[in-house]
Amino acid sequence: MEFSKDFVWGAASSSYQTEGDREGRGDSIWDEFCERPGAIRNGETGEFACDGLRRYREDVHHLKQLGLTAYRFSISWPRIFPEGRGVPNQEGLAYYDRLIELLLKEGIVPHVTLYHWDLPLALEREGGWRNRDTALAFADFAGFMAQHFSDRVQHYCTLNEPQCFIGLGYGTGEHAPGATLKGSELFTCAANALLAHGLAVQAIREASTKSVQVGAASTGKLCYPLHNTVENQAAAEAASFQIDENEWWFSHTWFLDAILLGSLPPAMQALTDCIPSEDWETICQPLDFLGINVYNGIQVDENGDYVERITGYPRTSLKWPVTPQVMRYGLRWLYQRYHMPMYITENGQASNDRIYLDGKVHDLDRIDFLHRYLLELRDCCSEGVPIKGYFHWSLTDNFEWNNGYDERMGLIFVHYPTQRRIRKDSAEWYAGIVQSNGRLL
Ligand code: NOJ
């Protein structure tokens, strides 16, 4: 069995995690956060990362060699507007022009994400996501980029995982800018992100001359059933969208209900006052697709209770559980709730990969992970859920935020001291799956 003929196979990355070249741009909140003692494992930073800005040709070459037809990457806002707004940095623009032209020349479709967490530091000084003006500045940036790329880019994600940049960035403080807000203060940041999304969708559509596909990349809790009964499935579906009080931010629902259904989930009604009523129309814009970043899920029983994981359950080096069933069930629940075509904008696993004596990187655990997840994805598609494509996270190893460089998630190994790239075994395996459009799974 194969995926649909027009199924898109790609890989993904983001600006701060890969580009390096700090001098060529304004500072972002991550530059400052990385200087905070103890914030990042081993005190590492994204200052040089994978030197992607200079080595993008090599990376595109790998994409091509692997037979991938789409590349998801993000634009560094402070590389274009070092102060968040104002005069654009021509060198920054020229970099993305070069990258996009090369991709198009190689027949690889650019999928551009406009916000993958590197907020210009200058805007954080004005309150960052606490400040409504950040939403307005983001819309200006989005419109500017869409106009600039209008003849070349047709796929945009506005925000990447607001669950994380709000929840971890302004709630738990594990991510930049490291704030620990609570209650309505935290939700106001979320409300500003919702507004930013809606305004950006409008700005992108207005600025584009060709037809564009606009969406956003969401993540959050998803559940799958212990038993395959109707009752247990219903319980897993309900549990997926239930808000956990102290972790409301790690739900798909606050974000997707708002932008697609135009309301907040019932459990969050108390926070409705944080969103001015006149904003709702802007927040809830028609979208073309939903991006879903999916890594793992939670098993629940017929009562909707979480099932305890077995002793020694399979997990990745980040200790995230390996739960391929989330692909089949979680995506089905999302489709039943939102009725949107979806891209898997991220999926993959972290390992402590290394170069073996033979000079190769044998990452069997990643192959096993992908095999299991893609089988479930294929089943999900065959059940009629409209999945348009799959982007492996990530193309190359990169800066895994507060976990630094220890955790490797790429198809391509990066030897950081030399920046040498080595295609892992999983890359070759993935290329075979892509070439057969999933038949070889
Ligand atoms: C989600 C984020 O979008 C990405 O930046 C991160 O590296 C991966 N998940 C893995 O944690």
CATH of the domain at 203: 3.20.20.80
pLDDT band, residue 395 (cuts 50/70/90): very high
How many whole angstroms separate alpha carbon 393 and alpha carbon 113? 14
The pLDDT value given to residue 245: 84
Query: What's the whole-number average pLDDT of the chain?
Result: 98
Going by C-alpha positions, the residue among 299, 410, 310, 300 that lies closest to residue 352 is 410
Look at residue 3 and tell me if it is in a domain.
Answer: no
Which positions are catalytic? 161, 346
Q: Which of 17, 76, 113, 401 is the pocket-test mutation for ligand 1 (most atoms within 8 Å of CB)?
A: 401
The pLDDT value given to residue 210: 87
Look at residue 53 and tell me if it is in a domain.
Answer: yes
Q: What percentage of the chain's residues is helix, strand, coil (to nearest 5)?
A: 45, 15, 40
Ligand 1 centroid to residue 409 C-alpha, Å: 9
The pLDDT value given to residue 295: 98
Ligand 1 centroid to residue 22 C-alpha, Å: 20
Q: What is the pLDDT of residues 190-209, one digit of tens each?
A: 999 999 999 999 999 999 98
The pLDDT value given to residue 366: 98
pLDDT band, residue 246 (cuts 50/70/90): confident
Ligand 1 centroid to residue 221 C-alpha, Å: 15
The pLDDT value given to residue 1: 85
How many whole angstroms separate alpha carbon 38 and alpha carbon 438? 43
Range of the domain at 108: 8-435
The pLDDT value given to residue 209: 85
Determine the atom of ligand 1 nearest the C-alpha atom of 403. Answer: 11
Look at residue 341 and tell me if it is in a domain.
Answer: yes
Pocket of ligand 1 (CB under 6 A): 14, 17, 160-161, 293, 346, 393, 400, 409
The pLDDT value given to residue 405: 98
The number of folded domains in the chain is: 1
Phi, psi (5° rounding) for residue 374? -70, -30
Q: What is the pLDDT of residues 95-133, one digit of tens each?
A: 999 999 999 999 999 999 999 999 999 999 999 999 999
- Average pLDDT for 246-258: 97
Look at residue 440 and tell me if it is in a domain.
Answer: no
pLDDT band, residue 173 (cuts 50/70/90): very high
Q: Which of 157, 161, 296 is the pocket-test mutation for ligand 1 (most atoms within 8 Å of CB)?
A: 161
Residue 25, C-beta contacts closer than 8 angstroms, at least 6 positions apart:
76, 78, 79, 82, 89, 92
Look at residue 239 and tell me if it is in a domain.
Answer: yes
3-state secondary structure of 350: coil
Ligand 1 centroid to residue 13 C-alpha, Å: 9
Look at residue 1 and tell me if it is in a domain.
Answer: no
Residue 418, C-beta contacts closer than 8 angstroms, at least 6 positions apart:
none
Look at residue 314 and tell me if it is in a domain.
Answer: yes
Predicted TM-score (pTM) of the model is 0.98
- Average pLDDT for 64-77: 99
Phi, psi (5° rounding) for residue 225? -80, 150
Residue nearest to atom 2 of ligand 1 (CA): 161
pLDDT band, residue 39 (cuts 50/70/90): very high
Look at residue 441 and tell me if it is in a domain.
Answer: no
Q: What is the pLDDT of residues 291-311, one digit of tens each?
A: 999 999 999 999 999 999 999
Determine the atom of ligand 1 nearest the C-alpha atom of 217. Answer: 3
- Average pLDDT for 314-331: 98
Ligand 1 centroid to residue 422 C-alpha, Å: 21
